[in-house]
Structure 1
Amino acid sequence: MTPITEVAGRRVPLTNLEKVLYPATGFTKAELVHYYATTADALLPHLRDRAVSFLRYPDGPEGQVFFTKNVPPGTPEWVTSAEVPRSSADSPARMVVVQDLPSLVWAANLVTEFHTHQWLVDSPDEADRLVFDLDPGAPATIVQCCEVALWLRERLAADGIEAYPKTAGSKGLHLLAPVSGASPERTSEYARALAVEAERALPRLVVHRMTKSLRPGKVFVDWSQNAARKTTATPYTLRARRTPLVSAPVTWDEVADCRSPGRLEFQAEDIAPRLREHGDLMAPLLDRRRAAPLPEAT
Structure 2
Amino acid sequence: MPADRFPVEVQGRTLELSNLDKVLYPKAGFTKGEVIDYYTRVAPVLLPHLHDRALTRIRYPNGVEGNSFFEKNAPAATPSWVRVETLPAPGSTKGRETIDYVVADDLPTLVWLANLAALELHTPQWTIGAHPDLMVVDLDPGAPASLRQCCQVALLLRDRLAVDGIDAYPKTSGKKGMQLCCPIAGAQPADEVSAYARRIAQDLEREHPKLTVSKMAKNLRPGKVFIDWSQNNAAKTTVSPYSLRAQQVPSVSTPLTWDEVAAGAAGQRPSTRPFTAGEVLDRIEQHGDLLAPLLHGGPPLPT
Output the CA distance in 1 between the equivalents of 2:89 and 2:83.
Answer: 19
- Shift of the 265–279 alpha-carbon distance from structure 1 to 2, 3 Å rule, reads same
Of 256, 265, 268, the residue aligned with 2:274 is 265
Task: Return the offset for 1:193.
Answer: 0.7
| CA RMSD in angstroms, aligned pairs only | 1.3
Output the CA distance in 2 between the equivalents of 1:186 and 1:54.
Answer: 27
Question: Which residue is 1:7 aligned to?
Answer: 10
Normalized against structure 2, the TM-score is what? 0.94
Question: Which residue is 1:211 aligned to?
Answer: 217
State the identity %.
52
Number of matched pairs: 292
Output the CA distance in 2 between the equivalents of 1:220 and 1:84.
Answer: 31
Deviations 1:40-66 (A, max 9, x none): 000000001000000111111110111
- Contact 2:90/2:234 (8 A) holds in 1: no
Question: Which residue is 2:78 aligned to?
Answer: 75
Output the CA distance in 2 between the equivalents of 1:13 and 1:162.
Answer: 42
Question: Which residue is 1:139 aligned to?
Answer: 144
Question: Which residue is 1:114 aligned to?
Answer: 121
Alignment of 1:1-298 (within 5 A): 1=2, 2-87=5-90, 90-112=96-118, 113-123=120-130, 126-180=131-185, 181-258=187-264, 259-260=267-268, 262=271, 265-288=274-297, 291-296=298-303
Which stretch has the larger CA shift, 269-278 or 256-265?
256-265
SS at match of 2:9: strand
Superposition misfits of 4+ residues, deviation over 6 angstroms: none
Task: Return the offset for 1:264.
Answer: 6.4
SS at match of 2:137: strand
SS at match of 2:18: coil
Task: Return the offset for 1:121.
Answer: 0.8
Normalized against structure 1, the TM-score is what? 0.95
- Contact 2:139/2:179 (8 A) holds in 1: yes
The amino acid of 1:284's aligned partner reads P
Output the CA distance in 2 between the equivalents of 1:171 and 1:75.
Answer: 33
Output the CA distance in 2 between the equivalents of 1:75 and 1:86.
Answer: 20
Output the CA distance in 2 between the equivalents of 1:270 and 1:65.
Answer: 25
Output the CA distance in 1 between the equivalents of 2:227 and 2:272.
Answer: 21
Structure 2, unpaired ranges of 5+: none
The amino acid of 2:302's aligned partner reads P
Task: Return the offset for 1:92.
Answer: 1.6
Structure 1, unpaired ranges of 5+: none
The amino acid of 2:18's aligned partner reads T
